[in-house]
A and B are shown apart, each in its own frame.
Chain A
Amino acid sequence: NAGVTQTPKFRVLKTGQSMTLLCAQDMNHEYMYWYRQDPGMGLRLIHYSVGEGTTAKGEVPDGYNVSRLKKQNFLLGLESAAPSQTSVYFCASSYHRERGYGYTFGSGTRLTVV
């Protein structure tokens, strides 16, 4: 009964370092998403995927890359971290809209870039 699991939960990076955030879902959802949350700005979509092997850009994709090699996993990569990428990152997954738009969110990853 895990739902959406994000790892790690916290991370501190130095400017220029790279890292990968992992999202795993066990609900057989077709769609997966990465959002970032910043104070006063709500959640903004970084990238999303409508199925295994497919990805697409969202509202704020610059500086991030993603991959979805398996249906249950969605990886978010930062190749060269910048202080502007300090944020809380949320992964989410959902069914296709004909099945009710059931978004499920992970508990977030708090990333600090110094």
Chain B
Amino acid sequence: AQSVTQPDIHITVSEGASLELRCNYSYGATPYLFWYVQSPGQGLQLLLKYFSGDTLVQGIKGFEAEFKRSQSSFNLRKPSVHWSDAAEYFCAVAPIKAAGNKLTFGGGTRVLVKP
């Protein structure tokens, strides 16, 4: 069955430290890949997306993600975390020919930032 897995439910990181969030997917072919961020009480905001080409993708707010086909992974990274990065992060995928642009989301990773 097709699925998206975010293995870490919670991550605590110190301000200024690096952050890496994991995402693994299981699909028959490489899908479109996305990372979204949700601040408390807010909707979701797109951080970055991968359709094809360069496997290292730059996004907003200093985030980047690397697509690794051999590992079916699309991990999100940030070199130096700011307190404002405390939020919940969702990986999402869409099969390339998905009817209606439907996204399938992982369960999310909540990031806490220590001062």
Question: Given A40-B108, A42-B90, A42-B107, is A97 in contact with B43 using a C-beta cutoff of 8 Å?
Answer: no
Bound state CA distance, A56 and B98, in angstroms? 13
A31 near B42 (CB under 8 angstroms)? no
B9 near A42 (CB under 8 angstroms)? no
A50 interface hit (Cβ, 8 Å): yes
Q: Please count how many residues in chain A sit with their CB below 8 Å of the partner chain's CB atoms.
A: 28
The contact string, 1 if C-beta is below 8 Å from chain A, for chain B 86-115, is 000010001000111111111110000000
Residues of B within 8 A of A108 (CB): 41-43
A101 near B107 (CB under 8 angstroms)? no
Residues of A within 8 A of B43 (CB): 4, 90, 105-108
Interface residues of B in 63-102 (CB under 8 A from A): 90, 94, 98-102
A48 near B107 (CB under 8 angstroms)? no
Residue of A33, A35, A45, A101 touching B32 (CB-CB under 8 A): A101
Chain B, residue nearest A102 (CB): B46
Residue of B32, B41, B46, B105 touching A43 (CB-CB under 8 A): B105
Bound state CA distance, A96 and B104, in angstroms? 16
B107 near A50 (CB under 8 angstroms)? no
Residues of A within 8 A of B9 (CB): 40
Nearest-Cβ distance from residue A98 to partner chain B, whole angstroms: 10
A61 interface hit (Cβ, 8 Å): no
